[in-house]
Amino acid sequence: MRTVFRLIKIARVFAIYRLDTFLLELPLPGYLRFLLLLLPSRWLIRARAERSVRLRLALEALGPVFIKFGQMLSTRRDLLPDDVAIELTRLQDRVPPFSGVAAQAIIERSLGRSVHELFSDFSVEPIASASVAQVHSARLNSGQAVVVKVIRPGIASVIRQDVGLLYMIAHLVQKLWIEGRRLRPVEVVAEYEQTIFDELDLRKEAANGSQLRRNFDGSASLYVPEIFWDLTRQQVLVMERIYGIPIADVEQLKAQNTDMKRLAERGVEIFFTQVFRDSFFHADMHPGNIFVARENPSDPRYIAVDFGIIGSLTAEDQSYLARNLLAFFKRDYRQVAQLHIDSGWVPADTNVHAFETSIRSVCEPIFEKPLKDISFGMVLLGLFQTARRFNMEVQPQLVLLQKTLLNIEGLGRQLYPELDLWQTAKPFLEKWMRERMGVRAVYRKMKQQAPDWMDKLPHMPQLLFDGLQQIRRLEEGQARTRALLEESRSKRDSGRRKRAVVAAVLLCFAVGSAVPEWASLLGQTPWYGWLSALLGVGVLWRQ
């Protein structure tokens, strides 16, 4: 029954915000187009706003799960028109807080003690509320200020129900729209499902935060709050409380004389350090999750919170990505195309010349702008969109990377409009490539692997002997197989010859028996008919 009511609400929102206009822009079958034209909402309700604004408002009306889905879609510019993707980035996750008493009950049930035992002070009123969880301030018995994040009660069943409806819509899109299969809506929903259900287990977020804190331990660029594991469970996360200036509050940052150029460049450095040094990057770096420490504004330090979404790249992806970006800014489009093929991002049988031409046609106009105005994120987007036309599979790790890069880039230019992302990133990438590919890198890898080699060294003679034995057995097996094949082929050829001879003899006999009849009819001597029969017998005897 709840599902029925939910479907009715979706239909109502669909009508109010005239989402039928989106469908009518698609190459739908004629009968569906006709049905859409007959909808009462089409004739009774005017579409007053732009289509992108109407879509954003509709998602906000449908609630938290659809809002988060829209936020995720806003990062998929390979799937959406630019105007829609940009508008979806404005989705606001405004959710009324749930009862503080209910939050207290969840904390006590999860940790097995009352909040009065756990904390010297606990605020029942939340300081922030979102779709999946809300946050309360507290103080440990040691006196340290902390925040307590609590999962919203009953949210799992709501998410499960709404994700089921999203799957239903995705299947319909895939079946009814010609482009549906290429855009893979079911896979997009599956990716979203995994992300949002991961957010329901706060232990995963805590583990991500702990790892990020270790990676930047002692760093002057980024501070990550401490996680208190003894007070963290699936539905409860306790973390050090931080005090900083929200990164979007540019006026307050300027009021304390923050070095905005240094702050913007440092954000880029942090991103590339996470991606290439650690292969572990904060993939939800929107302004609400980033703060700036108040201490030392001339050498500003970032503070990151909310570690629910983390991205990582394999060593191969790191290498190909760095080489792709360096090749792109050198305008070496052949290498860019070849790297996409070598990495497996596009099929191995892709025509490299055609791919190179397509990349050049998309990317060359970008260089008409000054380097400081070139968008790194849009470069990646252009490359991925071109590659999609050559059957590039969706690479989730690259989608997260592109989303994070767009966030960082937008944030950096909001702080310092003259930010030249390439000038900041290029030295970092070149240094990383030297460290990875140079003589020192080879020596470092050998040094790292030396203990494994020493451990395996005593077993090498036996492994070598076993390997040679396997090779010998393989060769013997291949020889037996060849002999059997040769014998089979010989028998088959012999059978063919015998069948051919029998056919020839039968033909000779047939001709020999028939010719006397023809000869007697024509009054001729039949000696050559009998001769043909005798020849047939001779051939059979020889075989």
Sorted by where each begins, the domain ranges of the chain are: 1-92, 95-241, 246-437, 460-542
Number of neighbouring beta carbons within 10 Å of residue 471? 10
Highest-pLDDT range among 66-75, 144-153, 173-182: 144-153
Does the structure show a pLDDT above 60 at 320?
A: yes
Determine which helix (DSSP H) or strand (DSSP E) holds 310, and give its type and residue range. Answer: strand 310-311
Contact at 8 Å (CB) between 329 and 426?
yes
The pLDDT assigned to 86 comes to 78
Question: Could you give the CA distance from residue 430 to residue 329 in angstroms, rounded to a whole number?
Answer: 12
pLDDT for 244-286, tens place per residue? 999 888 889 999 999 999 999 898 889 889 988 888 988 877 7
Determine which helix (DSSP H) or strand (DSSP E) holds 105, and give its type and residue range. Answer: helix 100-111
User: Any idea which residues carry the catalytic annotation?
Assistant: 284
Question: Could you give the CA distance from residue 197 to residue 200 in angstroms, rounded to a whole number?
Answer: 5
Question: Could you give the CA distance from residue 115 to residue 99 in angstroms, rounded to a whole number?
Answer: 15
Does the structure show a pLDDT above 80 at 144?
A: yes
Q: Which two tokens stand for residue 422?
A: 């390439």
Number of neighbouring beta carbons within 10 Å of residue 484? 10
Nearest in space to 505 (alpha carbons), one of 543, 468, 479: 543
Question: Could you give the CA distance from residue 446 to residue 452 in angstroms, rounded to a whole number?
Answer: 10
pLDDT for 15-68, tens place per residue? 888 877 776 666 666 666 667 676 777 777 777 788 888 888 888 888 777 787
* Residue 388 banded pLDDT, cuts 50, 70, 90: confident
User: Higher-confidence residue: 26 or 191?
Assistant: 191
